[in-house]
Structure 1
Amino acid sequence: MIKKLTLLSCLITFSFSTELMAQKKKKDKKKPTTEAVASDAKKPDAKKEPKPYKKVIDSTAVTQDGLIDVHKVGEKYLFEISDSLIGKEIMTITRYSKTPAGGGIFGGEEINRQVVRFEKGQNNTILLRSITYVIMTPDEDKPITKSVKNSSADPIIGIYDILAYKKDKSGKENIASVIDMTPAFDSDLQTFSLNSINKQMLSIQAFQKDKSFIQFIKSFPINTEIRTTKTFTTVAPQISRTPTPKIGVDLPAGLDAGVVTMELNTSFILLPDNPMRKRSFDKRVGYFANGYDVFEEDSQKADTDIFAVRWRLEPKNAEDAEKQKRGELIEPKKPIVYYLDPATPDKWKPFIKQGIDDWQEAFEFAGWKNAIRGEYWPENDPTMSLEDARFSVLRYFAAEIQNAYGPNVHDPRTGEIMESHIGWYHNIMSLLRDWYLIQTAAVDPQARNKKFDDKLMGELIRFVAAHEVGHTLGLRHNMGASFATPVEMLRNPEFQKKNGHTSSIMDYARFNYVAQPEDGVTDLFPRIGDYDKWAIKWGYSYFKDAKDEDAEKALLNEMTKEAYKNRRLWFGTETNPYDPRYQTEDLGDNAMKASDYGIKNLKRILPNLIEWSKENGEDYDELNGLYNSLTGQYRRYMGHVTKNVGGIYETPKTYDMEGNKYEVVPSAIQNEAVAFLNNQLFKTPMWLLDQNVLSKIRPENGVEAIKSIQDGTLSSLLAGDRLVRLLETSSQNKANYSVDELMSDLRRGIFSEIKTNAPIDIYRRNLQKLFVSKLIETMSSEKTNVATFGGRRIVLADTDIPSIARGQLNELKNQLRAAAAVSTDRLTKFHLNDLVARIENAMKPK
């Protein structure tokens, strides 16, 4: 029986297997074997073999000649890449053309820029690479070139089949390759779209290909422009009972529709075949810079080649170059032209144009006339586009942002600026109005209005336009320019008329807040000054006889050393954390004197804010904004003074210049700074608490507001970085201001009542608690509490700082105990005893 079952099972198995084999054979007829698949895989390749040119670019093709000849065939955009373009470097700049509202992004703003290069690939393909400039070598014919190339592979961002070759007139030689670039632009290729950071910031998620397309592609002699519409899904906002901070912006369109759509414009611009000569960067002159590491065959170490970013200005011919050398002004071969966005309100256009044209005088110092100008956009010219990277444009954004900015697009190989799109936000006018009113209304009656007349606002706009254009010329902020003007000269009408209140429009020295009503000063605006003219001369002088970069560098060095004999021509970096000469929004060579004058004017302005902001039928929002601006200005004065404490002057020097690069701020100035703070801030500034104003804008009477300002300044004064600097500098020379002196000076000022047995009011009690709390915190520094100085991380617990704080608290405790014993004011006694208890508790061993 068992044998029969076994035989039966075998028969069933055989029958089942036979059926499976039959089915498999049927499937095999439909599905090729592995060998067949491999064989068939070659067939599509065979189909992709280039076809005759006329079969690809047929009679239906719509062709545009330009940098890249573009053929539209059906819905495809075919690029004809000439052999002469292969290997050439092309700058791509992608900008928003239209944006969804509410995301803080605006049409005309740059998204990204990259350099790309077309290369011949394998099997009839064209590669598109993204080029990054990190390391270079000038020795192209030396062995080290191979090592540099091995260490700097550039990513391939696209591989495109060659659909056809274009032949020369003889029909024998290929002179161009036709490729389909449609997939590069109707997709989400990062080079021509938003990067991951952009998307995170805007809460953008997946690309929607079915809702995205190419609008048009236009080609011109030196550039090709691609306009696309791209749609993305958005990240749904999370609902939570305990919301957490979220990076990004929930675009209103995304919340409504679940997707957002935007238009982008990408410009392809051929970088110059003949690169501009680089101009070596100099820390003594404030230019933006670019650079890369350079490996040379004969060098013993890698050098960093850093060069200034600037426009290319050259004579039209040798005759003009000779004239310029003799001191005559000449026109450049190609002037710098900025167009005004036609969306700019008509009444502001002349002022913005004048702000651009104001730079002509500076270029004359470099030997050029008519080197720069503003022009109105020709609206009816179909060959021009606002997004076209051939044109520099001041773009006007309908936005509530109170700002403007001036970027530039430059050749990363040389620093040559190719174009700039200045961003101008509509609400910059609101910011200008607040600045000018708060800083100058004490001396300028025009500023005492809720709305400025067009002439005044136009002049304010002109100043901002000139500042932003300065950035697009390559100039950085010169935060040290205002320090070149003595404080008392800020009150001198003749000096101000001739020189202005700062030597550079690139400073953040907005308006002359030092001038007093009795001075008669009427020149209150920044303007292009002595430094700006010198900086343009440094960056744009043409050296006819300099044979190379090194020769130019030597000439420029001599010019710079000579210029540094004039303090008004110095550059002061915007990045120095400890030099009090380099600050934003400050004026004059002494922050204490300048701030004292500024406070006198604020005291004059505050009682008038209600009158100057009123409008029947409106609430007090305007008054609230102006009061906040006024207190903000006061805070800035405290910051300007504070930076002197623990300050170190840093003046860029070279071996062939006299003097040291670093100098400690004199002890007398640091003492003066602390005395100012004790008098103007820690002695309660009751004038800020104008109850006629406060009762209209907030429920509280200012106790916590004053405490907040005092807390901020105390925290800054006793910050670890500042205390470490004081330790370092006082250890070099006992005459230098020290940590112990700082704490003692503050203690005497903040606790002045304990010497006179005077009652201590709520403002001073708050301040004294803050001071004790900060000393306790300093004394109890944890190992994780670190400061930085000179590029080193310093553990505060391992320094003298906690010891000094402990000593100060011990002395203070004894003074407080004695004062509490004789005090007759009930709250004062409670307060003093409480401080004694806090100090004792802090000093108990854990």
Structure 2
Amino acid sequence: MLRKVLLASVAGLVVAAGAAPVLAQAERPAIASASTWQDGLFGVKLDRQKGKATVRLPAPGADGVLGRYLYQPGLSAGLGMDGAGLDRSGLGAAQVVAFRKVGNRVFAEFENTRFRAVDADADQVNAVAASFAPSVVWSGEVVETGADGSVSVDLSGFLERDAVNAVGRLKRARLGTFKAAPTLGYLEADQTLVFPDNVEFQTVQTFTSDEPGAELSRVSPESRSVTLTVRHSFIRLPDAGFQPVLHDPRSGTSAQVMVTDFAADLDQPVVSRLARRFRLEKTDPTAARSTVKKPIVFYVDRAAPPAIRQALIEGGDWWAQAFDKAGYVDAFRVELLPEGAHPMDARYNIVSWVHRETRGWSTGTSVNDPRTGEIVRGVVQLGSLRDRQDKMIFEGLVGAARSGTGGQDDPDRLAYQRLRHLSAHEIGHALGISHNFAASTYEDRASVMDYPAPWVIADGERLDFSRAYTTGVGAWDRYVVDWLYGDAPGQDPIARRAELAAEVQAKGYRFVNDTDTRPLGSLQPYGAMWDNGTDPVAEFANVMAVRRIALSRFGLANLPAGAPAADLRRVIVPIYLYHRYQTTAVGRQIGGVDYGYAISGDGHERAEVVPADKQRAALEALMQAVAPDELDLRDDLIDLLSSAQSGNGDRQTEIELFEGKTDAVFDPSSAAAAASQVVFETLLAPERLNRLVEQQRRDAGQLGLTEVLDRVATAVGPGASLSPRQAELRRVVRARYAAHLAALIQGKDLSSTAQGAVRDSARRFGEQLKRCRGDRLETAQCAWLAEALIGPVEGLKALSETLPVAQTVPPGAPIGGGEWH
């Protein structure tokens, strides 16, 4: 009952308005002069000499409200640095802003839309409204009152606010404490656009600091002064009639709209989640298949180079398949942004091509009606350096000479395929769809919403790229679009969605999202990024074989002609660590528990533990990854990797190299330490060690904590049969293991039982090292580590200072901070 009431009541919040037009080309009317009003969503008049914008709002209602609008700030020109969240086309928070006249002033108030009393009487509604504060963010004096009661006010102060929280973002990114400098900003009059359903303003805003972060000097000509261009979009609130959709944890959709209903019945939850989706209406609501009143159209940024535009259009257009399968004919398409259109114009769903100093995450976001979850505008940001990184990886696998050949292993062709997938993936987010990191575990790689590692198959000494990337959206994607957007005439939509979710579960499809994938200690065995294969251990063997083949022939042929030989140091990193993500997928089997997002009564409520034989096979695979013969490199290759670069440093390169302890000469030991860290940071995550105790408590035959620690100690302990060459690599791995033991003992995340087991294992390992035999290098390291592991806690602290657990591993996935996409 509550669900139907909520849908009806939330829909009733919407203020009626006209539908936005379907755009065939850019419309850009001019604002004539200070004496001329330009009428649209509301009237606008500019004073170009003073840089002021006056707006004319309708006559106030009984509550003094002059108008309510969806307000969306964003950046037309950004900082160009990963981690700050200040990128071109980046968005601030969407708000419902109400302009209210009180006396001779106009106040701008962001309404609090989360807390409600749904379908309740006025007393309950008013009580909730009085319990949670709105935010008044600006006020200005009335300039003029028209004969019709309309009110004119100078909006410049509102537009000059730090609407995107640049000050806060710069501080969080540790780039300095900045403050707004109003005299160093201005209104860009020529970028003021007035349309019937949206009004666009653009301001240049400068922020200054006496002590800016040193890194700002890399992207700003004067690091004490950061200038950004801020777009302010006022959008007509959507028409009545949109039907919100209650989020289902099995649906694969991203719920961003939270509703706290204090009028909910006691047998119903107070907090509900609304899925995000576009309004998509059939021209014939009674038909199973029909054209639509207004298609969803995404526009590719003209800033993207022509060849890249084509890849982005092709990949984005894959979603048309899913909408067609759901019964919506010609409902989705991707086109090039009309010439002269601004990519931040609120009328356009945009796929932006964003430049940063270094490669970083791409994102798919949306402007939503915060009351209903209706997507008003989709915004995708694609980092322009991602395709170059992909090409470099492929050249590292097959050689630079294959670029441009047109073969299945052509790095240019493969990078193009990856761009198509990237476009589809981020547009999927903008459509309201979540990641599904379990999709890669299906033979058909069921979703573009997973992170796609290229599926390269080792065939003898040949690398097979014929299945590197999929084409088109997958079975999971078609299901999610049908669940989120589809309908069936005459069928209850809530019941239909429940049936779809049950049906996809019955087919065996799993859904694993970010929170159960990204943590190193995640126990979800199907939740891994950039992995492949139905059997993670079997695919790990394939990945290791691909790595061996690539490294066996790695050299100058992996660089384009004329490139600095020092570039090999960057190219080798993703090849040497080619197994890093499949390693994580294997590690997730140890202590793994297959749990889902079930709802009561669907038959999938019980979690299942990964069988003991699979856990032990995973442990053995991880021990292979730290074996000396897997970590070693050829002597001639090490000599090539010691070529250096002269002149100024390149930030893109410097942060993506193995750190070394041998000055300018390549340090194989540091590379081996990084590869070992990839194994131990997952295997020895506290959550996993605690889980190993619990799973053996319930099943004595399961893999337990002491068995895992004993196996690692055997793998990294003294080895009499090792050559001096291999013994040094074993010592590198041993030191990494000791660093993790020391950190675990000093930490607070282990259960008491796990803490005891780790301390006992550390002492046993120390005793093992005391009996170490070999040359002086071997016995010296063994004695040092043994003293720290067996002795008092001060020894562990000293060990942690010398061997910090956070060994630097060059970034593999897109670097930088911000959201996960």
TM bin (shorter chain) = 0.7 to 0.9
Secondary structure of residue in 1 paired with 2:624: helix
Seen in structure 2, the aligned counterparts of structure 1 residues 355 and 839 have a Cα distance that, compared at 3 Å, is: closer
Match of 2:671 in 1: 705
Alpha-carbon distance between aligned partners in 2 of 1:179 and 1:408, rounded to the nearest angstrom: 30
What's the secondary structure of 2:204's corresponding residue? strand
Change (3 A) 1:438 1:406: farther
Q: Are 2:383 and 1:425 aligned?
A: yes
The amino acid across from 1:304 in the alignment is V
Q: Which has the higher helix share?
A: 1
Does 1:524 pair with 2:468? Answer: yes
Rate the CA distance shift 1:716–1:232 in 2: closer, same or farther, 3 A. closer
Matches within 5 A, 1:654-803: 654-681=599-626, 683-686=627-630, 688-698=632-642, 699-700=665-666, 702-751=668-717, 753=719, 761-771=727-737, 774-775=740-741, 781-782=745-746, 785-787=747-749, 796=751, 799-803=752-756
Question: Any idea what SS the aligned residue of 1:64 has?
Answer: coil
Say if 1:762 and 1:659 are closer, same or farther in 2 by CA, change over 3 A: same
| Equivalent residue number for residue 572 of structure 1 | 512
- Where do 5+ consecutive residues of structure 2 fail to align? 1-31, 517-521, 643-664, 797-821
* CA-CA distance at 1:524 after TM superposition: 1.7
Pairwise CA distance, 1:810: 6.0
* Residue 516 (structure 1) shift: 2.9
Number of positions where the alignment pairs a residue of Structure 1 with one of Structure 2: 723
Cα pair distance change 1:762/1:263, threshold 3 Å: closer
Find the counterpart in structure 2 of residue 323 from structure 1: 287
1:355 aligned residue: 315
One-letter amino acid of the counterpart of residue 118, structure 1: A
Distance 1:378 1:481 in 2: 35
Aligned partner of 2:358 in structure 1 is 401
Distance 1:396 1:197 in 2: 22
Say whether residues 1:476 and 2:434 are aligned partners. Answer: yes
Mapping 1:52-91, distance limit 5 Å: 61-72=35-46, 75=50, 76-83=52-59, 86=65, 88-91=67-70
Q: Paired residue for 2:157?
A: 183
- Which runs of structure 2 are paired with 1:824-835 in the superposition (5 Å)? none
**CA offset digits 1:552-608 (Å, max 9, x no partner):** 2222111111111222x3312122121121100111122221111111111111233
Aligned pairs for 1:502-581 (under 5 A) are 502-514=445-457, 516=459, 522-527=466-471, 528-545=473-490, 551-567=492-508, 569-576=509-516, 577-581=522-526
Scaled by the length of structure 2, what TM-score is found?
0.80
Q: How many Å apart are 1:667 and its aligned residue?
A: 1.4
Residues 809, 506 of structure 1: alpha-carbon distance in 2 compared, 3 angstrom cutoff: closer
Per the TM alignment, residue 437 of structure 1 is displaced from its structure 2 partner at its CA by 4.3
Residue aligning to 2:345: 388
CA contact (8 A) 1:483 1:589 kept: yes
Partner of 1:626 in structure 2? 571
Deviates more, 1:60-69 or 1:122-131: 122-131
Matched residue type, 1:372: F
Change beyond 3 A, Cα 1:614–1:558: closer
- Cα displacement (A) at 1:68: 0.5
Map 1:17-96; keep pairs closer than 5 Å: 61-72=35-46, 75=50, 76-83=52-59, 86=65, 88-96=67-75
Letter in 2 for 1:323: A
Which residue, 226, 235, 249 being the options, matches 2:201? Answer: 226
The alpha-carbon distance between structure 1 residues 721 and 373, as it changes in their structure 2 partners (threshold 3 A), is same
Paired residue for 2:90, among 99, 110, 116? 110
Question: Is this contact kept in 1: 2:438–2:527, CA < 8 A?
Answer: yes
Instruction: Indicate the SS of the match to 2:44.
Output: strand
**Is the 8 Å Cα contact of residues 98 and 111 (structure 2) preserved in structure 1?**
no
Look up the equivalent residue of 1:95 and give its one-letter code.
Answer: G
CA deviations 1:35-55 (Å, max 9, x no partner) are xxxxxxxxxxxxxxxxxxxxx
Q: State the shift of 1:786 in Å.
A: 2.0
Give the partner amino acid of 1:469: I
Instruction: Provide, for residues 445-464 of structure 1, a one-character-per-residue CA deviation record: whole Å limited to 9, x for no partner.
Output: 97999x96765543332222
Q: 2-side partners of 1:228 and 1:138: how far apart?
A: 39
User: For the residues of structure 2 that align with 1:414 and 1:447, how far apart are their CA atoms?
Assistant: 51
The Cα shift of 1:356 comes to 1.7
**Aligned runs of 1:246-261 on 2, under 5 Å?**
246=213, 249-250=216-217, 253=220, 255=222, 259-261=225-227
In structure 2, do the counterparts of structure 1 residues 644 and 480 end up closer, same or farther at CA, with 3 Å as the change threshold? same
Q: Which one-letter code corresponds to 2:347 in the other structure? A: R
Deviation, structure 1 residue 538: 0.8
1:443 and 1:516 in contact (8 A); partners too:
no
Q: Report the secondary structure of 1:190's partner residue.
A: coil
Residue 225 of structure 1, CA deviation: 0.7
The structural deviation recorded for 1:617 is 4.0
Q: Which of residues 169, 177, 181 is equivalent to 1:197?
A: 169
Label 1:178 to 1:560 Cα distance change in 2 as closer, same or farther (>3 A).
Answer: same
Q: Deviations over 1:509-540 (max 9, x none)?
A: 22113453679662321331111111111111
The equivalences for 1:279-358 within 5 A come to 279-289=245-255, 290-296=257-263, 298-299=265-266, 303-316=270-283, 320-324=284-288, 329-358=289-318
Q: Quick one: distance in 2 between partners of 1:811 and 1:193?
A: 53
- 2:641 and 2:666 in contact (8 A); partners too: no
Inter-CA distance 306–622: structure 2 relative to 1 (3 Å threshold): same
Return closer, same or farther for 1:816/1:206 CA change in 2, 3 Å cut-off: closer
Q: Contact (CA 8 Å) 1:200, 1:247: kept in 2 or not?
A: no
Asked if 1:645 corresponds to 2:607, the answer is no
Q: Which residue identity lines up with residue 215 of structure 1 in the other structure? A: E
Give me the whole-angstrom Cα distance separating, in 2, the residues matched to 1:525 and 1:390.
Answer: 33
Q: Distance in 2 between matches of 1:232 and 1:677?
A: 49
Aligned pair in 2 of structure 1 residues 765, 116: CA closer, same or farther (>3 Å)?
A: closer
Contact between 2:451 and 2:530, CA under 8 Å: does it hold in 1?
Answer: yes
Structure 2 equivalent of residue 51 of structure 1: none
Q: Which amino acid is 1:234 matched to? A: S
* AA partner of residue 641 (structure 2): I
Equivalent residue of 1:93, what SS? strand
State the identity as a percent.
21
CA distance in 1 between partners of 2:587 and 2:698 (Å):
22
Whole-Å Cα distance in 2 between the matches of residues 809 and 211 of structure 1?
Answer: 60
The 2-side partners of 1:160 and 1:259 are apart by 28
Q: Is the 8 A contact 1:443 1:515 kept in 2?
A: no
User: Which entry has the higher C-alpha Rg, 1 or 2?
Assistant: 1
**Do the aligned partners of 1:114 and 1:191 also contact (CA within 8 Å) in 2?**
no
Between the aligned partners of 2:555 and 2:347, the Cα distance in structure 1 is: 49
TM-score, scaled relative to structure 1? 0.78
Q: Secondary structure at the match of 2:110?
A: strand
Distance in 1 separating the partners of 2:368 and 2:606: 32
Q: Give me the whole-angstrom Cα distance separating, in 2, the residues matched to 1:845 and 1:510.
A: 42
1:134 corresponds to which of 114, 117, 128: 114
Whether contact under 8 Å (1:478, 1:506) holds in the other structure is yes
Deviation at 1:478, TM superposition (A): 0.8
1:13 counterpart residue number: none
Letter in structure 1 aligned against 2:187: I
Aligned residues of 1:89 and 1:115 also touching (Cα < 8 A): no
Aligned to 2:519: none
For residue 197 of structure 1, what is the amino acid of its counterpart? R
* 1:92 shift after superposition: 1.6
Secondary structure at the aligned position of 1:286 is classed as: coil
Counterpart position of 1:491: none
Return the match for 1:410 from 350, 368, 374: 368
1:121 CA displacement: 3.1
Question: Superposition RMSD on alpha carbons, in Å?
Answer: 3.5
For the structure 1 residues 375 and 612, does the alpha-carbon distance in structure 2 shift closer, same or farther, using more than 3 Å as the test? same
Secondary structure at 1:109 match in 2: coil
| Matching residue of 1:10 | none
